[in-house]
Amino acid sequence: MPPETPLPLPPSWPDTDTYVSSLLTFATTSNVFLNFCGGIHILDFLTRVPDLYTTVIPQDWREFFAHHDISAILDLLMREDIESLRRDICRDSSGGKEGAVEWRGGPTPPQSLLEYIHDIRRHCLRREFTPTNNYAEQNGRRNGNSNPKSCSNVIPRHIAVGMKPKKVHEVAHFASYVDALTDHIEHRKGDGERITHIVDFGSGQNYLGRTLASQPYNRRVIAIERRRNNISAAMGKDVLAKLKKERAVRDQKGDKESVNGDVPGDVTGKVDSDSAVPTPQNGQVKIYGEDREDSTTLVHAEVGIESNAGKCPGCSDGCTTEQNEEDTCSKGSMDYIEHDIQDGYLERIIKHVVEAAPSPPPPTHQCTCTSTCPKHTPPTFQTPKSPPQARVMVISLHSCGNLVHHGIRSLLLNPSVTAIAMIGCCYNLMTERLGPVTYKLPVLRSLHPRLEATSKAYDPHGFPMSKYFETYTHEGGTGIKLNITARMMAVQAPYNWGPEDSENFFTRHYYRALLQRVLVDYGVVPVPGPGSPVGDVSMESGMKAEVSGTPLIVGSMRKAAFTSFIAYASAAIAKLSRDPHYGAAIREKVAGLSAEELARYEERYAVYRKNLSIAWSLMAFSAGVVESLIVVDRWLFLREHEGVKEAWVETVFEYRQSPRNLVVVGVKV
């Protein structure tokens, strides 16, 4: 099951230790990389003095970019055969043909740019994915299914309700992967130590859990989600997926009966199988006991189409009781727990499920209908066996921010957790543990309120996780640090950009940067850097200081707002006029700007549009190394602990379908 190498390395690396050492050296010594990944922000692009394009990008790069359009530059960064180009340029230069060398009808890329592209590419983890049906075929054989169609990574329609194609791709492949991982663990440890439950961190609407609980996987899944509306929506989809609702229980922390697993009789109610949510007499999910912030809700569902209640299985449908017993044992199940996860300790949260007393087994080899049936025999029950010790696997499909950190730590904090398989997302929502990043260029040390606040969080649950990253010493200090701008760029997917996609990105960012220029010129917001005369504050020494205040966030805009800068600025100003901090200044200073004045801004700064597009492309391209740093840190954290026997990272679905496709796996000794 584990891949040949624990990290998906480019072929040029001999081993993981060499790669990690080089990765950290590059990330802490390359000033160009540090500037692109966290040193500049797109809002400052048209407001800095001197401007960011000439400050951050080397002159020979700028001269080369001036002769090529943005599509050619994107190809050079991500698709061109750099090794071949480097050899050709080196050969032609040594032969005295430097002046005659061309690339796409213009000058060739400077050697320093090619070296930088080479360094970024070789320090990014590989993202290629080779789909396979082997796992699904194994599942089919295990469940006695010889139909090859049902053994492929295809989700049945009634399970895929509500999924978009991207989600179908993710869930189909990751569910198959998780099932194969459980088989690997059980095969390694023997049948006596089977994975009893799978816990899904941040389950959302439970597409992954519902798939794992259904055929052909039939796993017992615990979905932990903090938003009740997501749980309600998930339960609605469970009805269509033929999951039978059993009960809904509100468990309070501090309630001795609940903590011990003994739920009072008036707290538990049957849930009609045709209802999407539990429906007591008042039509609402009834919450028993005092409302508390630390309370959790437990909802149980059992997988499978309901049987013919009150009828004899052996007489009505031709199934023998022995077959029904086997079907019952192979069923999956779902348990929903409403809980806001704040750390990796799970035992108290899931004990109601994993330590639940087993239900009595069905009668064996007898007809169980009424005595009027000619085949009726008195039922004989087997003696209930002691429940097996809980062995839990924690999984996550695109959990945001620190939630992945909590999931990884759960492997070490909980005796019942045997393995983890976590796919991260939304790195911008991670917190920081070691403080702010330092930059050699003073112009890049701006007091952006959000940057300053997040970089000084010193959150013990934040980045980095590993001791190796925490104690790594370099020229800039001790520890690997990534500010929110760098982490936000790490969720980009530049290799998926097409001509239309990239043009839309560039337009949005250019309009936002141009609007910032308008707001600075009219004194609505302070300047982001030293040396500019508008909106700053004088210090006692006569020097100018940057002003730190509430960040002005435009947020999402309708597509119609991007037809022109006039349309964008008008829509954005109308939206920002309601801002509690800047609203009054917006209404007073820029709400009355004419279309002619806005058009003059667009014309005046049009020359900078290409420059901004180039800078944004370099930032997104470089941030692939940032994502590699984040993933490697998580893998190192697992490797540093003796209790973890296996730890690896690999791709689990197509980058083109879903760019955040790296899973971090850890298995206990």
**Calpha distance 632→649 (Å, rounded):** 8
**Calpha distance 567→572 (Å, rounded):** 9
CA distances from 526 to 42, 202, 522, 550, 552 (A): 16, 39, 10, 11, 11
- pLDDT computed for residue 93 by the predictor: 65
- Inside any domain, residue 651: no
Asked if omega into 361 is within 30° of 0 (cis), the reply is: no
HEC-encoded secondary structure of 92-139: HHHCCCHHHCCECCECCCCHHHHHHHHHHHHHCCCCCCCCCCHHHHHH
- pLDDT computed for residue 91 by the predictor: 74
Tokens encoding 487: 């982490």
Indicate the pairing of strand 473-474 with strand 477-478.
antiparallel
Q: Which amino acid is at 636?
A: L
- pLDDT computed for residue 140 by the predictor: 44
Residue 610: closest CA among 71, 47, 1, 126: 71
User: Environment class of residue 632 by beta-carbon count within 10 Å: exposed (0-12), middle (13-18) or buried (19+)?
Assistant: buried
Contact by Cβ (8 Å): 598, 517? no
- Inside any domain, residue 92: no
Residue 638: closest CA among 484, 410, 455: 410
- Inside any domain, residue 480: no
Residue 33: closest CA among 634, 490, 649, 545: 490
Backbone φ and ψ for 251, nearest 5 degrees, come out as: -105, 125
Close Cβ partners of 619 (under 8 Å, ≥ 6 residues apart) = 36, 37, 40, 489
The angle formed by the CA atoms of residues 667, 668 and 669, to the nearest 5 degrees, is: 125
- Inside any domain, residue 337: yes
Contact by Cβ (8 Å): 313, 307? yes
Q: For tokens 């198959």, what's the residue?
A: 176
Contact by Cβ (8 Å): 496, 654? no
HEC-encoded secondary structure of 140-192: HHHCCCCCHHHHCCCCCCCCCCCCCHHHHHHHHHHHHHHHHHHHHHHHHHCHH
- pLDDT computed for residue 597 by the predictor: 95
Residue 292: closest CA among 239, 252, 349, 240: 252
- Positive or negative, the Cα torsion across 300, 305, 307, 313? negative
Helix (H) or strand (E) holding 631: helix 608-639
User: Environment class of residue 226 by beta-carbon count within 10 Å: exposed (0-12), middle (13-18) or buried (19+)?
Assistant: middle
- Inside any domain, residue 81: no
Residue 576: closest CA among 566, 589, 564: 589
**Calpha distance 275→661 (Å, rounded):** 35
The angle formed by the CA atoms of residues 574, 575 and 579, to the nearest 5 degrees, is: 115
With b for 16 or more beta-carbon neighbours within 10 A and e for fewer, the 121-149 pattern comes to bbbbbbbebeeeeebbebbbeeeebeeee
Domains: count for the chain: 1
- Show the domain range for 169: 134-367+390-425+662-668
Contact by Cβ (8 Å): 518, 594? no
Backbone φ and ψ for 397, nearest 5 degrees, come out as: -115, 100
Cα 493 to the chain's mean position, in Å? 13
- Inside any domain, residue 250: yes
Backbone φ and ψ for 151, nearest 5 degrees, come out as: -100, 10
Residue 427: closest CA among 404, 407, 394: 404
Q: Starting at the edge strand that comes first in sequence, how are the strands of the sheet with 243-251 ordered?
A: 243-251, 296-303, 333-338, 220-225, 197-201, 392-400, 417-425, 662-668, 644-651
- pLDDT computed for residue 94 by the predictor: 64
Residue 378: closest CA among 387, 389, 367: 367
Region for 31 from its dihedrals, namely left if φ exceeds 0, alpha if ψ lies in -120 to 50, beta otherwise: alpha
Residue 260 per-residue DSSP state: T
Torsion of CA 160, 161, 163, 165, to 10 degrees: 60
Total count of residues recorded for the chain: 669
Tokens encoding 438: 């330092």
- Inside any domain, residue 246: yes
End-to-end CA distance of the chain: 16
**Calpha distance 398→429 (Å, rounded):** 12
**Calpha distance 382→360 (Å, rounded):** 8
**Calpha distance 315→309 (Å, rounded):** 13
- Inside any domain, residue 560: no
In the chain (669 residues long), the average pLDDT of successive 10-residue segments reads: 93 96 97 92 87 93 96 96 84 59 88 96 95 52 42 77 92 95 85 83 91 92 91 86 57 40 34 34 29 51 47 46 47 88 90 66 50 55 63 93 94 94 94 72 49 64 95 93 93 93 92 94 77 34 41 84 95 92 90 94 94 96 98 98 95 95 94
Indicate the pairing of strand 537-538 with strand 544-545.
antiparallel
